[in-house]
Amino acid sequence: MQDEVIKSRIDQLLIDEIELDKDQLHPEADLKKDLGIDSLDFVDLFVIVENNFGFKMKAEEMSEIRTLQDFYDYIIKRVNPS
């Protein structure tokens, strides 16, 4: 799957499921500080990723994901392993 398609899907899922505004979604946005994603939202993200991308996330992996770009990169790497 192409990187831009993955990013677009992630953005749409964040808009639909986490109820973020499209204008908030910038690669450098901090998931917690800028987007207001809290611990319950992170649980939702685990389910969303599993349902939409077909793999399970691990809690320890999320500790390294701080920005939206980090999240994009993580999903892209898991969907398209080299």
CA distance linking residue 55 with residue 37, whole number of Å? 21
Q: Quote the pLDDT of residue 81.
A: 86
User: φ, ψ for residue 67 (rounded to 5)?
Assistant: -110, 170
User: Which CATH number does the domain housing residue 20 bear?
Assistant: 1.10.1200.10
| Cβ–Cβ < 8 Å for 72, 7 | yes
Q: What is the pTM of this model?
A: 0.91
Read off the pLDDT of residues 60-70 as tens digits, 9 standing for 90 and up. Answer: 888 889 999 99
Read off the pLDDT of residues 41-56 as tens digits, 9 standing for 90 and up. Answer: 988 999 999 999 999 8
Q: Quote the pLDDT of residue 55.
A: 93
| Cβ–Cβ < 8 Å for 22, 16 | no
Amino acid making up residue 49? V
| Cβ–Cβ < 8 Å for 46, 58 | no
- Paired tokens of 27: 């690669």
Sequence length of the chain is 82
Which domain does 62 fall in, by range?
3-79
- Total tally of structural domains belonging to the chain: 1
